[in-house]
Each structure stands twice: as C-alpha cells, then as structure tokens.
Amino acid sequence: MTAVVTPPPSSVDAVARYRVRRAARRRLVITVLAVLVVVVFAASLMIGRTFYPPGDVIRVVLGQEVPGATFTVGRLRLPRAVLAVVAGLSFGLAGVTFQTMLRNALASPDVIGITSGAGAAAVFAIVFLGWSGTAVSVTAILAALGVALVMYGLAFTDGVVGTRLILIGIGIAAMGRSVTSYVLSEAGAWDFAEALRWLTGSLNGSTWEATVPALVALVVLAPVLLALTRQLSALQLGDDTASALGIRVDRTRVLAIVAAVGLLAFATAACGPIAFVSFLAGPIAARIVGPNGSLLVPAALVGALLVLVADLVGQFALGSRFPVGVVTGVLGAPYLIYLIVRTNRAGGSL
C-alpha cells in the first residue's frame, strides 16, 4: 500500500515489546507445564504398593534387569503412565480444538456426545462382536466421526454455536452412555472395573497393545492440529472475519474436526472416555496462559497433567482404588453445572 502512514518508531517498539512479553509468558507457562508432566510421570513410575527409587526406574526404562522392578515398573506402571500421558494430551488437544472452533466451552467433545459415541461403539465391538485391538479403534473412530457428522448437519447453520448444538449434543451423549450401559449389562461376566472403564474411563490393566495405537494417532494427528493454530485463532473471530482474513473456513473446520475426532477415538478405544478431561483442559489452560496466544499446546499439557494426577489420586489418595474417570468426573461435574448456571444468568445464549 502506498501513502502509508508511518507510525513513530517508539510505538512500533512498544508493539514489538508487548508481543515479545506475551510470547515469553506463554513459553514460560508451557515449560512449567511440561516439567510438571515429566515430574508427575516419573512419580507415577516410582509410587505404588512398593516404592522404587529413581535409579531403579531409570534402569528399567533403559531396559536393564532389576528384580521386581522390571515387572512392576516395566510391565505395569510404565504402560499405564504412558497411556495416561497420551490420553491426556489427546483429550486436551481435541477438547480445546472443539472449544476454540465452536467458541464455546460447553462445546467440548465429551459434553456434546462425540466421546461417548466412540465409547459406546468400542464397547459394542468388544462385547457383542468379540473384536479387539485395531478393529475396536476403527469402530470407535467411525462412530465418533458419525456423531460429529450428525452434529455438523444438525447444528452448523452459519457456524455459530447456539443452545441447539449443546442440547442436541447432551442428548447424543446420554444416548451413547445408555447404549454403553445396556451392552455392559448384557456382558455378565465382566467385572466391575472393566465396566467402569467404558463408563467413565480407566487406566487399570493398561497394556502396550492398547497404548501403541493411541500413541501413533497422537504422533500423526497432533501436528495436523498444531499446523492449524493460526487458522483456528482466526475462526474464533467468527466465520465472516476469518474468511475475510483469507482462511478457507470449511476446509479448516473439516480438517480440524477429523483430526480432533481421530485423537479422541483412539484415546477412547484405549482407556475409555475419561470423564471431562476434554472439557476441563481448555478452560484451565486459558486461566493459566491468559490472553497470550493459542491454547492448543497448554491445554494438551493440562490434559496430560489432569489424567496423571487424577490416576494417582484415584489409586492411592483415597480409601479404596477408583478408576481415573471417577476422579476427573468429580472434578468436572461442578464446573459443568457452574457453566450452565452462568449461561442461564447471561440470558440463555450459550
């Protein structure tokens, strides 16, 4: 453009300084969260019925033989902790993607039925069809995509998320959970813990066979979402503004939905729909990061931290052992109620 009004250098510097300050603050938050994830991950390898010091744990992870620890840490705790991190990252990332894209904290995939759709399909495939492994993951993905597609068709009239989408979603979530309950009631031989995995999510009995597909999905799909960071930030300003900024709105949205749904479905197929992690990670990350840029990475880390801590609490802090989803459910439900109450006060527009 010509005849450009040149701003004084001092104001350009002020703009640059503010931007650098925000970026520094964001990096600090991300670093602290990442360190916390590593610390809690390490702690969850050491803590248990038997305590193993860091030295033993490191030797097991490096593949050396340590009597006792090789089995307990290597076969029991390590897959469980890795799955906790993978599922937490996946749920957090997918949740904040939906919340950002739909501009509404209530529009997280575990509130609007996408997670429970995946869970219902997975449990159906396991109990009635006798499937396992990849077949279960694929079934969960197809179901989750199906639910997302139904939502898209029913509620995306002009990209604005109204009460309608949330209500339809809550209905679909209830249907998913009732299908799960029915299937579990037919599978008489299942023990309670296994049933709870599919109702609220659990890391009990985590194996590498269950963890690896979710890990691969994370490695493949997380970069897709991270590459969409700027497009998602523009979408927050409304479809019209985003489009005026040169974003291809529909393409971005479809790509983000497919990637986020893939993450969710693989994680759900591995450990069940861990309650409310998708829902909580974004808002918690927003509180910590403040108005300092994209929430994708911070929310993913918060998700991992939530699952790791909730699993430790569920195993050891309470009188008896609870699956991780029960703990996150207890955390998430009050927040859900709070959001709905606040929404009602604001006049019913979500």
Partner 1 sequence: MSATHRLAAEGLTLAYGERAVIEDLDLAVPHGRITAIVGANACGKSTLLRSMSRLLAPRGGQVVLDGRSVHRLPAKELARTLGLLPQSPIAPEGITVADLVGRGRHPHQGMFSRWKREDDVAVAAALEATQTTELAERAVDELSGGQRQRVWIAMALAQQTDVLLLDEPTTFLDVSHQIEVLDLLTDLNRTRGTTVVMVLHDLNMAARYADHLVALAGGRVHAAGAPDHVLTEETVRAVFGLECRVVVDPTSGRPLMLPIGRHHMTAPAEALAAGEPIS
Q: Which of 45, 225, 286, 300 binds partner 1 (CB under 8 A)?
A: 286
Distance from C-alpha of 235 to C-alpha of 247, rounded to nearest angstrom: 8
Stretch that binds partner 1, among 74-82, 201-209, 267-275, 287-295 (CB under 8 A): 287-295
For residues 106 and 184, which CB has a smaller minimum distance to partner 1 in the complex?
A: 106
Nearer to partner 1, 22 or 59 (CB): 22
Between 4 and 189, name the residue whose CB sits nearer to partner 1. Answer: 4
Is 254 a binder of partner 1 (CB under 8 A)? no
DSSP string, 73-93: IIIIIHHHHHHHHHHHHHHHH
Q: State yes or no: residue 168 binds partner 1 (CB under 8 A).
A: no
Output the CA–CA distances (angstroms, integers) from residue 295 to 1, 20, 105, 286, in the order listed: 33, 17, 13, 7
Cα–Cα distances in Å, from 347 out to 100, 232, 283, 342, 350?
22, 27, 21, 9, 9
CA distance 54 to 35: 16
Cα–Cα dist 190/214, whole Å: 24
Nearest-angstrom CA–CA distance, 83 and 267: 8
The footprint of partner 1 on residues 100-139 (CB under 8 A) is 103
Question: Does the protein bind partner 1 through residue 6 (CB under 8 A)?
Answer: yes
Query: Could you tell me the smallest distance in angstroms from the CB atom of residue 10 to partner 1?
Result: 9
Residues contacting residue 279 through CB under 8 Å, at least 6 positions apart: 95, 105, 108, 110, 111, 332, 335, 336
Q: Quick check: 163 binds partner 1 (CB under 8 A)? A: no
Helix 324-345 / helix 296-312 crossing angle, nearest 10 deg: 130
State the binding string over 204-243 for partner 1 (x if CB under 8 A, else -). -----------------------x--x--xx-xxxxxx-x
Q: Does 16 bind partner 1 (CB under 8 A)?
A: yes
| Residue 339 found at the interface with partner 1 (CB under 8 A) | no
Minimum separation from the CB atom of position 305 to partner 1 (A): 22
Our CB check for partner 1 shows the closer of 87 and 102 to be 102
User: What H or E segment, with its residue span, contains residue 230?
Assistant: helix 229-235
Q: What residues line the site for partner 1 (CB under 8 A)? A: 1-8, 11-12, 14-16, 18-19, 22, 103, 227, 230, 233-234, 236-241, 243-248, 286, 290-291, 293
